[in-house]
A and B are shown apart, each in its own frame.
Chain A
């Protein structure tokens, strides 16, 4: 493993997203500032909420003066902003983690956050919230009354301002979290593609087998019907005879040497007159033959050949040892007799 990493310096072993976790827990959370920040947020939020509830501010917010509303916003808004910031930091980390899990981002590459101009929206929204020209907070709190309405009439009344307010919230949330939403969509799309490919493979397989099911079968039912066997099929061996019924073997034993299974045994005698080897026997153990055709290739006179014959099952193992010479003599006896008793050896 270490060697591979040295070869590819770009490749980082990131199978366990440990470094990310470590960075989060020990650089961001462990920092004193972050801790203080989180504690402060929690404490302020709890206090502010409890005080507001105790003073009945939520119920009577619609009747507050503008300054009172501003105070409420500041009082409740500061912890809200802090909470949003903390959760954003968390989502920042989570999105990077998700992107790494999906293999979407490069190792060590920073995930782009919102553009810098985006932060100018914060004072703009803050001003809007302070002035509150459409009395949105009042309407938000008036929602409490809608519950009564629902109980009385069964159907909530349509409140266009409330819908606008909610749309505004959704819009700003989308704007704020756009990068994370984009990453989420990409991850979800990848997942969907993968799952779709998985799901589609089942009906695809079924379609293939259905096509096969409807096709006529390709079987040749053997004992009754036989296929045409090509001439170059490597079946049982035979000694080739020429037109006069004479074999071509010169007993050079090249096939014996070429045979990878060592299953050919040739016997020959030297003719003192012609001073040439003459074949007297050609044994071949067919049970061990791998039908590689090397004997055919090695033969200088093309005397041995694979025939298309493929039916050589028998009852005893010793029957698999073919006596090719005897077979040749039987095969050509008639021809040789007709041509005037040509010598075979």
Chain B
């Protein structure tokens, strides 16, 4: 399946070296090019995202949103905002811890930027060989992303401490408590993905989803990852650390001007990165719908990656427009008493599926067990098989286990189908609320006649 794990930047470096440039110079030039392209992409993306969020929230609230700067679409609004922030005075509180105060925005912003390093944007055939559009195809990319997500925390607590402001400190403490609580279900959801794909590299995780997107076998993990992604990016309904009514603006209360803009940039970039990670882990990354087949064109892969990630950005915005902010205790209870057990059950299910060589729970990657291997207890190797082939190679208990997994899948589909029916087809607010009102009136009349 995996033809060649070379990235486009390695090809670029090879090209430079072909022109007679030395290895270190070529390496530095390509890395600079890669970083610049990613940075420019990130800035443009954030400028677009802020406007998109404001417009979409406006539409959800039945209003047009920003529509004055740059014509009716308001596409210059964020540029105007950024210019305004650039000209703002940079205020430093008197009792601020100056070093941490100045370093915090960068400590928040840089990890988010670094996450872009391992994010595969697409793949295509360049000069006859298959190349991935990723700055670096780390083989521990999942670990790297989790580490970067945790480092962001330090920046947040630095901002809260350095500001010398009680609201900032409370906001930062809330942020840390929340992010630590939600990181555990997030990691466990990723563990099931990693078990499914058999790799920590994002490129390989995407390639393993050629036959089926991971959302289908790992739906609960997707739900957990989505919710924790919303919490990790501190967005509604988990935006307790920025609750205006409680802590003024959370950890960035005291920041103004360009430093505030950096926090803003990090927040929105993290939102898109999380959406992109959802796409990579559960929706086949840059791959289009399966029935269209594979295409070697890098533009189609970009298109699908962007389309899918922006769909999830839209989902984040939709969530923000729908749900009110939850309470602190509800936040913790939801993470520790609902998401964590669910995540553990999901990991157990995937582990069970892999033990019984379930093709659907192991990305059709079937361990080859020969008679000799059975004696030594070792696995002879892995083999990609289509589902019928894999089923034909299973033993009786493994087939029984597969049957149980099919029954479970049917149960989940029936449950979700019922929910979908109840929600989309069976629920009409006007009618349902009217019935409630009528019932209330009937009860009142009963009470009257009872007297």
* B61→A212 contact, CB < 8 A: yes
Chain B: which residue is nearest A218 at the CB level?
B62
Chain B: which residue is nearest A199 at the CB level?
B419
Which size bracket describes the interface of A in this complex?
20 to 34
> 1/0 per residue B311-323: CB within 8 Å of A?
0000000110111
> What is the CA–CA distance of A313 and B58 in the complex, to the nearest angstrom?
27
User: Nearest Cβ in chain A — how far from B124, in angstroms?
Assistant: 34
> What is the CA–CA distance of A219 and B419 in the complex, to the nearest angstrom?
34
Q: Which A residues between 172 and 210 are near B, CB-CB below 8 angstroms?
A: 199-200, 202-210
Given A154-B397, A219-B62: A210 touches B318 (CB 8 Å cut-off): yes
Given A154-B397, A217-B62, A217-B63: A207 touches B318 (CB 8 Å cut-off): no
* A204→B427 contact, CB < 8 A: yes
Q: Which residues of B contact A221 (CB under 8 A)?
A: 64, 67
> What is the CA–CA distance of A208 and B433 in the complex, to the nearest angstrom?
13
* A213→B56 contact, CB < 8 A: yes
* B396→A155 contact, CB < 8 A: yes
* B59→A200 contact, CB < 8 A: no
* A207→B64 contact, CB < 8 A: no
* B62→A212 contact, CB < 8 A: yes
> What is the CA–CA distance of A202 and B60 in the complex, to the nearest angstrom?
16
Determine if B44 is an interface residue (Cβ-Cβ < 8 Å): no
Count contacts on B: residues with CB < 8 A to the other chain.
24
* A206→B322 contact, CB < 8 A: yes
* B64→A219 contact, CB < 8 A: yes
Determine if A215 is an interface residue (Cβ-Cβ < 8 Å): yes
* B318→A206 contact, CB < 8 A: yes
> What is the CA–CA distance of A208 and B424 in the complex, to the nearest angstrom?
10
Main secondary structure of the interface of A (DSSP, over half): helix
Q: Which residues of A contact B419 (CB under 8 A)?
A: 199-200, 203
Given A203-B419, A219-B64: A213 touches B397 (CB 8 Å cut-off): no
Chain B: which residue is nearest A216 at the CB level?
B62
Q: Which residues of B contact A217 (CB under 8 A)?
A: 58-59, 62-64
* B424→A207 contact, CB < 8 A: yes
> What is the CA–CA distance of A206 and B67 in the complex, to the nearest angstrom?
25
> 1/0 per residue B41-75: CB within 8 Å of A?
00000000000000010111111100100000000
Which single member of B63, B67, B318 contacts A209 (CB below 8 Å)?
Answer: B318
Q: Which residues of B contact A202 (CB under 8 A)?
A: 323
Determine if B422 is an interface residue (Cβ-Cβ < 8 Å): yes
> What is the CA–CA distance of A203 and B61 in the complex, to the nearest angstrom?
17
Q: Which B residues between 8 and 61 are near A, CB-CB below 8 angstroms?
A: 56, 58-61
> What is the CA–CA distance of A68 and B59 in the complex, to the nearest angstrom?
84
* A215→B427 contact, CB < 8 A: no
Chain B: which residue is nearest A203 at the CB level?
B423
> 1/0 per residue A276-320: CB within 8 Å of B?
000000000000000000000000000000000000000000000
> What is the CA–CA distance of A205 and B423 in the complex, to the nearest angstrom?
9
> What is the CA–CA distance of A103 and B53 in the complex, to the nearest angstrom?
46
> What is the CA–CA distance of A212 and B58 in the complex, to the nearest angstrom?
10
* A205→B62 contact, CB < 8 A: no
Chain B: which residue is nearest A154 at the CB level?
B397
> What is the CA–CA distance of A75 and B318 in the complex, to the nearest angstrom?
69
> What is the CA–CA distance of A213 and B64 in the complex, to the nearest angstrom?
11
* B424→A213 contact, CB < 8 A: no
Which single member of B318, B420, B423 contacts A213 (CB below 8 Å)?
Answer: B318
> What is the CA–CA distance of A217 and B60 in the complex, to the nearest angstrom?
9
Determine if B429 is an interface residue (Cβ-Cβ < 8 Å): yes
> 1/0 per residue B321-352: CB within 8 Å of A?
11100000000000000000000000000000
Q: Which residues of A contact B420 (CB under 8 A)?
A: 203
Which single member of A199, A209, A215, A219 contacts B322 (CB below 8 Å)?
Answer: A209
> What is the CA–CA distance of A217 and B64 in the complex, to the nearest angstrom?
6
Q: Which 7 A-B pairs have the closest CB atoms?
A: A203-B423, A209-B322, A219-B63, A213-B60, A205-B322, A217-B62, A218-B62
With contacts A203-B419, A206-B322, A210-B318 known, what are 4 further pairs, Cβ within 8 A? A205-B323, A208-B322, A217-B64, A221-B64
A-B pairs with beta carbons under 8 Å apart, 16 shown = A154-B396, A154-B397, A199-B419, A200-B419, A205-B323, A206-B318, A206-B423, A207-B423, A208-B429, A213-B59, A213-B321, A215-B62, A217-B58, A218-B63, A219-B62, A221-B67
